[in-house]
Amino acid sequence: MHRLTTPISDEEIRGLRVGDTVYLNGLIMTGRDAAHKFMIEHFIKGTPSEEELPLYNELKKLLDGGVIYHCGPVVKKHEDGTWSFVAAGPTTSIREEVYQADVIRHFNLKGVIGKGGMGPRTLQACREQPAVYFHAIGGAASLIAQAVKEVVTVYKMEFGVPEAMWVIRVEDFPVVVTMDSHGNSIHQQVEEASRARLEALLEAD
């Protein structure tokens, strides 16, 4: 069992192996389809406009050694204008496969949290950077919302609540490393092993 706090160092990442349980602490940011598309088009392939420069600088600070969470939360707005997370489980990560490797490299991201795993481009970026893929427990929305202690700020609210970039402070957010920085992917291993077992079961009748 590992307990890590953002920003995370390269040494800490290299020390993680697939199957490890990790409790994450510190500031992380949610980002899913719209956020990834925006970061690629405006900051990575494009150059930030004068208007977008402050946000770019904030993200560079936040994501250096940081973690992005694939999540579209259910949120509650309080009378004093602050927010809290009500339900916040992971969403399917593979939709970000086209963007993720470039986002990891550009911002020196150390981890991505989601569910279902990601593909070879992300695995390659994890090996080089280094970074890891953290698998949250699909459906554990109430529990994960309890691990979100504070909603610090929100960027790009015009994307809508699920797609906005929520900066949150988490305490002991439970995840499992399913893709590590040594080229291992549980998703690949389990699929290959289960394919062999399926073939054996279909041999018999």
In the complex, which residues of this chain contact another protein (CB under 8 A)?
19, 21, 72-74, 76, 86-89, 92, 115-117, 135, 137-146, 174, 176, 178, 186-187, 189-191, 193-195, 197-198, 201-202, 205
Please report how close the Cβ of residue 84 comes to another protein at its closest, in angstroms.
11
Question: What minimum distance in Å lies between the beta carbon of 33 and another protein?
Answer: 13
Active-site residue, 36 included: yes
Which residue among the candidates 2, 36, 42, 182 is catalytic per the annotation? Answer: 36
**The pairing of beta strand 74-77 with beta strand 67-69:** unpaired
Give 59 or 75: the residue with its C-beta nearer to another protein. 75
**Quick check: bond before 120 cis, omega within 30?**
no
For another protein, the closer CB: 59 or 70: 70
Shortest spacing between CB 91 and another protein, in angstroms: 8
Distance CA 112, CA 92 (A): 12
Nearer to another protein, 43 or 115 (CB): 115
Give catalytic residue positions: 36
